[in-house]
Structures are given as C-alpha cells and as structure tokens.
Amino acid sequence: MLKTQTIQEELNLISTTVANLPNTHPFDVPHDYFHQLSARILHNAGISGSAVDADPDLSPLLASLKELNPYSVPVDYFRELKVTPQKPDTKIVRIQPWKTWTAYAAAACLAGIMVIGGVFNNGTGKAPETMALKENTLAEQAVSTETIQSYLNEADAGQATETMNNETGSENNLLVELNTEIIATILKEIPENDISFYMAQTGDHEMLLLN
Amino acid sequence: MNNVHDDNEWVALFKMGGNQKEQAFTKIVKHYQEKIYWQIRRMVVNHEDADDVVQNVFIKAWNGLDNFREDAKLSTWLYRIAVNESLSFLEQKKKKASVSFDDVAEVMENQLKAEKGFDESKAVWKLQLAIQQLPEKQRIVFNLRYFEEMAYEEMSQVLDTSVGALKASYHHAVKKIEEFILHG
C-alpha cells in the first residue's frame, strides 16, 4: 500500500528513514477469519440471526439451506385436513357452593375464640379484683338495710358497755389497791370542812363506797 | 468504499428497529470489521486478544448505536470505541501481570517475536518492534496516522486531543522510531 502524498511529505520532513519504510503490516489472520467475524459478532451480541439468513453474503451456506426442508407430510394431507371448530366450553357450576361459606364461618369462629382467649390471658392481674367487687355487690343486695342498721346499733351499744366496764374496773382496781389504813390516814390529813363540802356535792353513796 | 450517506442510512435503518436493525448492523460490521480489527491488532499484537477486543467493540456499538447523535462520523465513533477498548485491555493486562510500562513493552516485544513469520531483519517487523517501544498514546497516534492515514481533525475527535498536541505526538513518535531503526 502506497502512502498518500500528504503523509509521505509529512514523513519526509520529520524522518526520511521512516518515510522510506513500507506502511504494511506483517501480521497474519486465520483463513476466512473476516468472512466469519461478522456472524460471530452478531451471535455473541445476542442478535437473533434473522439478518444472517437474510444476507447471503454473510453466510452463503445458511442462505442456501434456508429453502430446504427435510420433513415430509402424507400425500394430500393438507387437502384433506379439516379443522373442526370446537364448541364453546360449558360453564362450570359448583355443586356445593355453601362449602365456601362454611369454611369462612369456621375460620371466623376460630379467630373469635383465639381473640377472647388472648384477652383473658393478658388480663390475669385484674381478674381477682373484679371478682371481689362482684361478690361484695351480691352480698349487699342480699342483706336488707334494716338488718344492717340494727347490727350497727348493737355494735355501738356493745362498744359503750365495754368502755364503761373497762372504766369501772379500773376504779375498783384502784380502790382495791389502796389499803384501808392508808385511806384513813389520807382522810385524817384532809380538813373536816373539805370533806363535808365534798360529801354535800357528791352524795351519800360515794361516802358509803369509801367506808 | 462507503461514504457518509451510507453511514447515515445504516444508522437510520438501525434506529427503525425490527429486522431492519439487524440488517443495518450487519452491513456496518461487515464494512468496518477489518479496519477496526487491524487498529486493535497493532495495539495488542496477539490475534486472540484482538479478536476478543473487536467483538467487545461491536457489542458496545450494538448497545450504543440507538444513542449515536450523528454529530460525528460513524467511523470516528467506532474508532473511538476501539481505542478505548484497546487501552482498557492493555490496562487489564498490566494489572494481571503486575508489571510497569517498561515491562509491558518487553512483554509486547516478546509477543511480537512469537508471531508467525517473525524476522527482525525485515523492515516491516523492525518497524513493529520500534512501534512497541512507544508510549501508548504515541503508538495510537502513529498507527492512526501512518497506517490508517487519518486526518488530524478526525483523530482529534477520536482521541479527544487538540490537533497541535497530536502533531507533536506524531513528530516525537517518528523520531523515536527512526532512532530505534538506526541504532536500536
């Protein structure tokens, strides 16, 4: 291949040695490499290959095989071939349509049971309180108001008696604890006027008690 | 040789989709496959490597041609993909081998010497040995100018570099090759 004039002139200006070298290459390629390269590129690019069939230059062998068909059919096959149109499919009706509803109902019941069980299991801390309140309410309804009032009156009276008994008991104990001689000594130390005044205020039964 | 009219027609057919898309792409591949292959082969030297890279280039073209804006020539766009794919391949090769630039040049030289029919006494092989000594960018510029005879303006679009920088690169590359041929 001869260099164009422009390239040659440019090279002459730079280096006459290089200008005199041939601008051919020494490399070799396999036989028919370029003939098959385009087909391989199209194949590797994932292209279908219809273009290869359409272009006899690309692959003459494939192009020549395109019209040949190795398969055969019986004589007059296509003439006798009849296509019978099929009837439209009959609509299919379910025999037991309620089965669907029962399935849904069973699922709903099961879900309800699970929810209720979950509520009771989660509220175990509050359940005893609720039961105690319920029992109190029932007891209040069973006992009448009068009964409750009389019970309270009796309770108050009993408490008062008990208080008095307690007080009397303490005085008696005090008297028991004091010896008669000590009492007489105490009385001697008290003036007669004070004693008379005291007896006039408290009455005879107190005096009797002291004697 | 096709012209810009053919390129535009193929791109338009490709963008229409369907069976026409495949037919248009087949024509594009058939038209550009050799030019793209040789550009890659001069970069990567080995045929099997070049075969892998050229297939990647056209698969990328298939995936990206719908978005091709036609403000550049189809050939320029394909060359640009080829350059990027070649450089990516060489970069991966460097990483795999964990070698520096000098070592890569040695590896490429050894690959060249292993090529069928290699004869260092012949000018064509000596020139290839000299090209393998060049830095990657200068090698691309030299190949596109010397073998493909590409105009600097188009090369500027392919490599996204100014025309002045490309001329300087080419000048340096030719001088280095001359030095290698004479004293190498």
Q: Which pLDDT band holds residue A41 (cuts at 50, 70, 90)?
A: confident
Q: Which pLDDT band holds residue A211 (cuts at 50, 70, 90)?
A: very low
Q: Which pLDDT band holds residue A37 (cuts at 50, 70, 90)?
A: confident
Show which of residues 127-146 on chain B sit within 8 Å of chain A, judged by CB atoms.
Answer: 127-128, 145-146
Determine phi and psi for B46, rounding to 5 degrees: -75, 140
Q: In this structure, what token pair is assigned to residue B92? A: 């991966």
pLDDT (average), residues A67-83: 69
Cβ separation A18–B177 shorter than 8 A: yes
Give which of B10, B13, B22, B115 to mutate to test A binding, by max A Cβ within 10 Å: B22
Task: Estimate to the nearest angstrom the gap between the alpha carbon of A177 and the chain centroid.
Answer: 80
- B/e letters for A11-36, b = 16+ CB within 10 Å, e = fewer, are beebbeebbebebebbbeeeeeeeee
The predicted pLDDT at position A56 comes to: 57
In this model, does residue A18 exceed pLDDT 60? yes
Q: Which pLDDT band holds residue A14 (cuts at 50, 70, 90)?
A: very high
A15 contacts in chain B (CB < 8 Å): 174-175, 177-178
Helices (H) and strands (E) in chain B, counts: 9, 0
Distance CA A157, CA A155 (A): 6
| Packing angle, helices B47-64 and B74-97, rounded to 10 | 130
Amino acid letter, residue B182: L
pLDDT digits (tens, 9 = 90+) for A112-160: 999 999 888 875 555 555 555 666 666 666 677 888 888 888 887 777 6
Q: Does B90 touch chain A (CB under 8 A)?
A: no
Cβ separation A14–B147 shorter than 8 A: no
Q: In this structure, what token pair is assigned to residue A24? A: 């051919």
pLDDT digits (tens, 9 = 90+) for B87-117: 999 888 888 776 666 667 777 888 888 888 8
DSSP B65: G
B47 contacts in chain A (CB < 8 Å): 27-30
Contact B76, B148 (CB under 8 A): no
The predicted pLDDT at position A199 comes to: 79
Its pTM surpasses 0.80: no
A30 contacts in chain B (CB < 8 Å): 47
Cβ separation B58–A40 shorter than 8 A: no
